[in-house]
Amino acid sequence: MSNIKIKSKNLNVYYGQKQALFDVNLDINEKEVTALIGPSGCGKSTFIRCINRMNDVIDICKVEGNIEIDGIEVNDKELDVVSLRERVGMVFQKPNPFPKSIYDNISYGPKIHGKGETKSELDEIVEKSLRKAALWEEVKDRLDEPGTGLSGGQQQRLCIARAISVNPEVILMDEPCSALDPIATAKIEELIDELKKTYTIVIVTHSMAQAVRVSQKTGFFHLGKVIEVGKTEKIFKNPDNKMTQDYITGRFG
């Protein structure tokens, strides 16, 4: 049995008057990939944004209920959000490297978290992170060039390297491949496979095939509720819930 890394209990989220999540109970296993699927606006992104409190930046957003990482409540007002985000990295739909050099993109995080004191320490972190993100060989000779000059797929791997650089425990990915071509997508998926040995990964995806390929567990969201969670293989071969089946087979009307 895998350990539970993240546990949400009766999680409710409101954007002003509108309720976005309804009593979400979901366990995310450690060092596994959990895929979240569901139609647009079903609450998957809202859910993962609760894990590193990205919803804090939205004034009208109100979060009720619990989300625990290793048994510690994420919504605790006393909790240091900066150190939370150090533990829980995030990669977004559109690659968003800083308008800085490739090197600075990676070294920025460790620097602000006080992780690389000397230049050689930072060099080591940059190389290690880029290697883990399978980007090192492609960029090692041009670390001082702007990150925004890379191809889309490389930029996304740079963002993954940036997330890894502060040595997080959890990586949240919000449709990380939706803007990438099939080869770049394949590279990211290959990378996710490798990263799950070290990190707990939660990925939001609109590609059923991708969810099958990369994840061990899948959760199906609909209208802010978790309809079904289970082993990925089970969900895509023989789901228990009719709504899940209708969604993954393209019968949603």
Of the ranges 51-59, 66-74, 84-92, 242-250, which one interacts with other proteins (CB under 8 A)? 242-250
Does residue 239 bind other proteins (CB under 8 A)? yes
Which of 29, 245 has the CB closer to other proteins?
A: 245
Does residue 231 bind other proteins (CB under 8 A)? no
Distance of closest approach, residue 139 Cβ to other proteins, in angstroms: 33
Distance CA 163, CA 198 (A): 13
Distance of closest approach, residue 115 Cβ to other proteins, in angstroms: 42
Read off the amino acid at residue 219: G
Does residue 40 bind other proteins (CB under 8 A)? no
One character per residue 191-230, x = contact with other proteins (rule: CB under 8 A): -----------------xx--x------------------
Does residue 94 bind other proteins (CB under 8 A)? no
Contact (Cβ atoms closer than 8 angstroms) between residue 140 and residue 130: yes
Length of the chain: 253
Helices marked H in the chain: 44-51, 81-87, 102-112, 119-132, 136-139, 152-164, 182-195, 208-214, 232-237, 242-248
Distance of closest approach, residue 217 Cβ to other proteins, in angstroms: 16
Of the ranges 7-15, 81-89, 131-139, 233-241, which one interacts with other proteins (CB under 8 A)? 233-241
248 by DSSP, 3-state: which? helix
Does residue 41 bind other proteins (CB under 8 A)? no
Per the structure block, which two tokens stand in for 95?
A: 């690659």
Distance of closest approach, residue 126 Cβ to other proteins, in angstroms: 39
What residues have CB less than 8 Å from 1, skipping those under 6 apart? none
Task: Supply the DSSP symbol for 3.
Answer: P
199 by DSSP, 3-state: which? coil
Q: Which position among 18, 77, 197, 237 is part of the footprint of other proteins (CB under 8 A)?
A: 237
16 by DSSP, 3-state: which? coil
Contact footprint for other proteins (CB under 8 A) = 208-209, 212, 236-239, 242, 244-246, 248-253
